[in-house]
Amino acid sequence: MTDDKKFKTERGDAGELHQIAVGDDPAMTTNFGVPISDNENSLKAGVRGPTLLEDFVLREKIFHFDHERIPERIVHARGSAAHGYFECTDPIPEISRASLFSAKGKKTPVFTRFSTVAGGAGSVDTPRDVRGFAVKFYTDEGNWDLVGNNIPVFFIQDAIKFPDLIHSVKMEADRAFPQAASAHDTFWDFVSLMPETLHTLIWAMSDRGIPRSLRMMEGFGVHTFKLVNEKGEETFCKFHWRPKLGTQSFVWDESAKTQGADNDFHRRDLWEAIERGDHPEWDFAVQVFDKELAETLPYDVLDATKIIPEEIVPLRVIGRMVLDRNPDNFFAETEQAAFLPSNVVPGIDFTDDPLLQGRLFSYLDTQKSRLGTTNFHQIPINAPKCPFANMQRDGLMQTHVPKGRANYEPNSLNEAGEDPGPRPVSTGFRTAQQHVEGDKLRMRAESFGDFYSQPRMYWNSMTDNERAHIASAMVFELSKVGLPHIRERMLGHLQVLHPDLGKRVAKGLGMNLPAPAKAVIQPLDLDPSEALSIQKNWQRTLEGRQVAILFDEGSSKAEIDKLKKAVETAKGTAFTIAPSVGGISLEGGTMKADGQLAGSPSVLFDAVALVLTQQAAQKLAKDSAAVGFVSDAFAHLKAIGASEGAKPLLDRAGIEADEGVTDLATLPEAAKLRYWDREPKLRDLA
Ligand code: HDD
């Protein structure tokens, strides 16, 4: 029983107690608008008696609660999303008649959802996995959904293999583990039997599989699409998103520890950045090429396991996307958002990529099972923002109330003065005309048959440090594979991919190299592409990054304030940490910390500062949370800025001075980098 300003407690005729709502707040009602007077007590026969079936308020509330969950997505179940806009910066009417690309400065609202692939909706944010990057553009000619990933290629070439791929990577069917992890028998069994997976596999095993932030990921439409202009002329096109903050990743140990420190690390990071006005932004670029160029390439542009290096077809930036508003309600928007690759608008069209063709069916179908009705397009997050009308009627959960009797077309009801309803228009979507002829057959094109050249190109495009990460990730994952014949088969492929990779993984596993796999098409040595490496394209900035400042009793308030200011001037954010959050007395005043030491490990930040007196550092040297805070920052190749007094803690954490260990004044500059050269001294990389 409460007795605050919203309720008063009254005694009824039989002496029983009732809560009566008072005041002017909007009335709470049932779903049918009946005002509710008591939301604390079910209806009973006697104060201590049985609850009555008659209690429609209770039954409605529990009934609704029981059905609050809908089936989660079979893939990409865990996701986070935001609203924003796309702005055209370089119109391309000569290439595409899509209205969103028609004028400089034209803005189109978007809703963008990022996701992991394998884990369930309640799983964690930072496992090694491909990330979904799905954008719904609410254009003035209908919705366009660009349902892509943060990796530009896909595991398989034909949609018919998708259920097998996903069954193999999700938790194993009998034991229901591991959750959100590819490091298990069935996944590696499948990929080792399907060498077309190798290209995506090497991307996923590289640092691309462990992005530091959703705001720091590239995005790709993956397939080759078509752009079509007003005259009906078509060109091939691949779509790219480039993060303004640069592409950044975790190191593996950091990503694994982040799972323990904060299950929601990416979700929180996206939410908080938008709340504080650091709106995530991406450039949108197209790679446009024609059939003639496609024919010169030694791989097929309809094969989703291949990229076209940007050294061959350069990227043209035509717009930008800014995410500037968090969802008002996670379920109504993020969970109910239904993305469909089949949602295209006039000016954008499909190709015959057999993976894309299968997707055109799958997504529409899955929405019916997830959202329960063919009318899922009426849910506000899915509905177009332009007018829409057709002759489709009725169905479960119909919320529209069409007037009149024109539910068929053609009709002549207008001749009788009645509303004839909508008609097809000459400016509507037209499929680009294409001549098709061939035998009906189930067959993979020979031009899809080279599985090793592009993964080898990826390997050759990496820095030494990035190569070590790939080899180590494969050793880690294959070490979790219990069946030795699977490991062996995989080693057969890896040495064809690149002999160096094969040798390093075999050594890491403590296995002899088996005979190489038999490649149907001998791999080519393609030119490496600089654009594929994260480290070679590192953006030296503090923007979007967070610096943790650890302080304790006696620390200098002036030094903390100065550092905070320097970080903020460099467009980073500062987060203060102390052994307790309630307020600590410092030299020059008291200060409350943003986070408590044990709950704010350094994995959550991009660099750390230790603003400590010698006495405090000596005390903290006995606290494992403080020692781990520093040693992890060092092991994760981050900059550490320290006051002179902090030395006892640095010594206890085993920190060896290097370029990334600085004084406090240098830290904001040093924090723009990770110190890759430190890594071989710290861990045995494959
Ligand atoms: Fe898919 C969801 C991306 C191949 C079937 N997929 C889904 C999502 C993304 C992708 C980002 C989550 C959308 C959201 O946030 O709601 N999928 C891809 C990419 C692919 C791909 C980039 C290859 C280039 N997918 C693919 C194939 C099939 C599917 C070949 C089936 C034949 N995907 C689905 C699905 C999902 C889905 C089962 C689950 C939930 C949903 O669609 O709405 O239909």
Q: Say if ligand 1 is within 6 A of residue 240 CB.
A: no
Q: Whose CA is nearest to atom 30 of ligand 1?
A: 159
Q: Say if ligand 1 is within 6 A of residue 238 CB.
A: no
What is the C-alpha to C-alpha distance for residues 443 and 275, in angstroms, rounded to an integer? 51
295 burial class (0-12, 13-18, 19+ CB within 10 angstroms)? exposed
- Asked whether the beta carbons of 421 and 406 are under 8 A apart, the reply is yes
What is the C-alpha to C-alpha distance for residues 611 and 97, in angstroms, rounded to an integer? 58
| For the CA of 362, the nearest atom of ligand 1 | 44
For residue 2, what pLDDT is reported?
Answer: 45
Q: Say if ligand 1 is within 6 A of residue 152 CB.
A: no
What is the C-alpha to C-alpha distance for residues 151 and 529, in angstroms, rounded to an integer? 15
For residue 682, what pLDDT is reported?
Answer: 92
In the chain, which stretches have pLDDT less than 70? 1-8, 13-24
Does 73 count as an annotated binding residue?
yes
For residue 267, what pLDDT is reported?
Answer: 98
Q: Say if ligand 1 is within 6 A of residue 305 CB.
A: no
Among candidates 115, 73, 119, 110, which has minimal Cα distance to 270? 115
435 catalytic, yes or no? no
Does 155 count as an annotated binding residue?
no
68 burial class (0-12, 13-18, 19+ CB within 10 angstroms)? exposed
Residue type, 327: P
Q: Which of the listed residues 339, 343, 381 should we mutate to test ligand 1's pocket, taking the one with most ligand atoms within 8 A of CB? A: 339
667 burial class (0-12, 13-18, 19+ CB within 10 angstroms)? buried
Report CA(66)–ligand 1 centroid distance (Å).
28
For residue 3, what pLDDT is reported?
Answer: 47
- Asked whether the beta carbons of 563 and 667 are under 8 A apart, the reply is yes
Report CA(448)–ligand 1 centroid distance (Å).
22
Return the half-sphere exposure (C-beta side, CA atoms, 13 A cut-off) of residue 53: 0
For residue 646, give both structure tokens. 């902090």
Catalytic residue among 31, 41, 64, 76: 76
Q: To which residue do tokens 């290097």 refer?
A: 658
Return the half-sphere exposure (C-beta side, CA atoms, 13 A cut-off) of residue 634: 25
Q: Say if ligand 1 is within 6 A of residue 159 CB.
A: yes
Report CA(119)–ligand 1 centroid distance (Å).
14
CB atoms within 10 A of CB 32: 7
For residue 198, what pLDDT is reported?
Answer: 98
What is the C-alpha to C-alpha distance for residues 237 and 218, in angstroms, rounded to an integer? 17
For residue 10, what pLDDT is reported?
Answer: 73
493 catalytic, yes or no? no
Report CA(115)–ligand 1 centroid distance (Å).
10
DSSP per-residue string spanning 140-152? BTEEEEEEEESSS
Report CA(370)–ligand 1 centroid distance (Å).
13
Report CA(414)–ligand 1 centroid distance (Å).
43
Does 545 count as an annotated binding residue?
no
Q: To which residue do tokens 């650890």 refer?
A: 550
Report CA(368)–ligand 1 centroid distance (Å).
15
What is the C-alpha to C-alpha distance for residues 103 and 126, in angstroms, rounded to an integer? 39
Does 370 count as an annotated binding residue?
yes
Catalytic residue among 18, 64, 67, 149: 149
What is the C-alpha to C-alpha distance for residues 511 and 280, in angstroms, rounded to an integer? 45
What is the C-alpha to C-alpha distance for residues 110 and 146, in angstroms, rounded to an integer? 11
Q: Say if ligand 1 is within 6 A of residue 162 CB.
A: yes
For residue 168, give both structure tokens. 């193999």
Q: Whose CA is nearest to atom 4 of ligand 1?
A: 359
Q: Say if ligand 1 is within 6 A of residue 362 CB.
A: yes
For residue 14, what pLDDT is reported?
Answer: 66
Does 162 count as an annotated binding residue?
yes
Quick: pLDDT tens for 587-632.
889 999 999 999 999 999 999 999 999 999 999 999 999 999 999 9
Residue type, 27: A
| For the CA of 221, the nearest atom of ligand 1 | 22
Among candidates 363, 378, 402, 458, which has minimal Cα distance to 145? 363
Q: Whose CA is nearest to atom 11 of ligand 1?
A: 132
For residue 686, what pLDDT is reported?
Answer: 87
Does 408 count as an annotated binding residue?
no
